[in-house]
Each structure stands twice: as structure tokens, then as C-alpha cells.
Amino acid sequence: MFRKLQQVARMFSQSARLMVGVPEYDNYVAQMARNRPGEPVMSYEMFFRERQEARFGRGKCNTRCC
């Protein structure tokens, strides 16, 4: 029972972070280790900056209004 509550809390927390735009660095690191071993992993700062640029654009108007 307690384990199920922990899983629900973790899923709720992840959903809340994704709703406000906070990326999941731990998931990124785990995925890189699993799918691309040996390739360099971005630091948290680089990862966060890359996710922000992907979400909000890189100074140019792509699909969002300027």
C-alpha cells in the first residue's frame, strides 16, 4: 500500500513539474546511460538551458508569437 502511494506521489510530482516546464534531468541521465552509453552527458545547467531554448525558441519566432 505504501509503495503504491509513493508511486502515485512520484507520478503527481513529475506531472506537476512538467506542467510548469521544469525538465527531468534524472530521466535524461538514465536514458543516456541506457540508450547511448559512452556518449557525453550534458551538465544540469546545459540541459536546463537546452530545454528552455527548445520550449521557448532560440531568439527567433518559430511557432510562438513574438
CB neighbour class for 34 (10 Å; exposed up to 12, middle 13-18, buried from 19): exposed
CB-based contact 23:48 (threshold 8 Å): yes
Is 66 part of any domain? no
Report the pLDDT value the prediction gives residue 33, as an integer from 0 to 100. 94
Is 8 part of any domain? yes
Distance of alpha carbon 36 from alpha carbon 45, whole angstroms: 20
Is 62 part of any domain? no
Q: Which helix H or strand E contains 25, and what residues bound it?
A: helix 25-35
**Reported confidence tier of residue 60, pLDDT bands at 50, 70, 90:** low
Number of domains composing the chain: 1
The 10s digit of each residue's pLDDT in 11-23 is 888 888 777 767 7
The 10s digit of each residue's pLDDT in 24-45 is 888 889 999 999 999 999 999 9
Is 31 part of any domain? yes
* Domain limits for position 42: 2-56
